[in-house]
Amino acid sequence: MTFVDDDSPCLPGAPEKPAARMELVCPAGSLPALKAAVDHGADCVYLGFRDATNARNFAGLNFDETAIEAGIRYAHDRGRKVFVALNTYPQAAKAELWQRAVDRAAHSGVDAVILADPGLMAYACKHQPQLRLHLSVQGSATNYEALDFYYQHFGIARAVLPRVLSLVQVQQVLEKSPVEIEVFGFGSLCVMVEGRCALSSYVTGEAPNTNGVCSPPKAVRWVETPKGRESRLGGVLIDRYAPGENAGYPTLCKGRFDVGDDHNYYAIEEPTSLNTLELLPALMNMGVSAIKIEGRQRSPAYVAQVTQVWRAAIDRCRANPDHYSAQPAWFSALDKVAEGQQHTLGAYHRPWK
C-alpha cells in the first residue's frame, strides 16, 4: 500500500539521528502560556488553532492568526521551537478544515506539525513537503512496526508514545525505532491508548478524537445536593464530593463508580498526575529525544511552575546523570499544581512486568 507518490519528498531516506539533547516540550494554550514556557526554559512549545483540528478545543483557549504570529516570533527570537497540534481526525463532510490547517501551519513558519490521521499526513506530504511531521499520541503507535509504517509512508521525524507503556516497553520501542521518540513526563494521565477512547462519546455523543475535548463544557453540570456536590457529564453522575473535598473537571474515566456491594471508588483511574522526575536518567540513557508536559488547558502559572522544575531537572541530569536525584522541592512544587495534588509513575512503573 502506498499513500504518496514515489517522487514525494516525504518518502524517507536514512532515519534521522536522535535529537542532540533531550528537549523539553511544553504546553501553550494561550499566548501568555507560550511566553511563560519560553521564559522558564522550554525548548519547544506546542499549541493549537481555535477549531476542531486540535484535541484541546476549549472556548477561550488556543491561537488566532494574530496570536500565533506573535507567539512564533517570540519563540523564534529566543531560539525556541513551535509545534502545532492538528491531532484530531478529519470528518468526511469538512475535511478541508484540517487541510487548511496544515497549509496555515506551514505558511506561519512553525517548526513541526503533530498529526494523527494518515490521510492528513498524505496531504501534508503532497502540498507542504517542507513541513516536519510528528506522529501524535492520538495516533496510538505502541510498537516500532507502527512507527516504521508512518516513517516509510510519510517520513515522520518524531513520534509521541501513548501513556500506557511500561518503561521496559518504551525501551523496546526505542531500540528499533527509525524516528525520534517523545514521551510524556508530567500532567494528566489517559487510561486509554490515546486515539482509541470511546468513553466520552458514550455519554456525550461527541468523540474526543473528533471534537477535541473529553468532556465538552456544554455537557458538564455541577449540582449542589444534600449528599454533596455532584458532577455530571451528559446527564450521567460522574462523582459526588464531600464538603471541602477537591473537585476535578469531570471525565468519565476519572469518575467514582459503585462496584459490588458498598464499594464506591475510582474503578478505572484516579485523578492523579503523572510525574516521572525520578525516571529521567533512565529515559535519557535510553535515548528519549523529548519530554512532553501535558496541560494546554492549564494556566500560564501552571506552565511556568512545571517548566521551571523540569528545566532544572533535565539540566542537572544531563550534567551529572550518575549522581542525579529528584529533589524534594521539585516534587513539592509540582504536587501543588498536580491533578488531585498527587503524583504517580503511571504505566511506566509496573512491578509485575
Indicate the pLDDT class of residue 204, thresholds 50, 70 and 90. confident
Whether 238 shows a pLDDT value over 80: the answer reads yes
Q: Name which of 274, 243, 288, 263 is nearest 343 in CA terms.
A: 274
What residues contact 60, with CB distance under 8 A and at least 6 apart? none
Which CATH superfamily does the domain covering 23-189+272-348 fall into?
Aldolase class I (3.20.20.70)
Cα–Cα dist 15/13, whole Å: 6
Residues 52-65: tens digit of each pLDDT: 898 888 778 899 99
Cα–Cα dist 28/15, whole Å: 29
Q: What is the DSSP string of 265-277?
A: E-SS--S-EEE-G
The least confident of 46-50, 114-118, 234-238, 250-254 is 250-254
Q: Which residue ranges make up each domain of the chain?
A: 23-189+272-348, 199-265
Q: Which cell numbers hold the place of 274?
A: 503523572
What pLDDT score was predicted for residue 317?
96
What pLDDT score was predicted for residue 164?
84
Cα–Cα dist 54/27, whole Å: 13
Cα–Cα dist 307/322, whole Å: 23
Q: Which long-range contacts (CB under 8 A, 24 or more apart) does 315-319 make?
A: 317/280, 317/281, 317/284, 318/21, 318/22, 318/284
Residues 148-200: tens digit of each pLDDT: 999 999 999 999 999 888 899 999 999 999 999 999 999 887 766 676 777 77
Q: Which cell numbers hold the place of 35?
A: 511566553
Cα–Cα dist 212/189, whole Å: 16
Q: Are 251 and 215 spatial neighbours (Cβ–Cβ below 8 Å)?
A: yes
Q: Are 164 and 43 spatial neighbours (Cβ–Cβ below 8 Å)?
A: no
Amino acid, single-letter form, for residue 115 = L
Arithmetic mean of pLDDT, 242-258:
82
* 93 or 263, higher pLDDT: 93
Tell which phi-psi region holds residue 212, choosing left (phi > 0), alpha (psi between -120 and 50) or beta.
left
Mean pLDDT of all residues in the chain? 88
Percent over 70 (pLDDT), the chain: 91
Cα–Cα dist 110/157, whole Å: 15
What pLDDT score was predicted for residue 2?
43
What pLDDT score was predicted for residue 253?
80
Pairing of strands 273-275, 180-188: antiparallel
* 72 or 213, higher pLDDT: 72
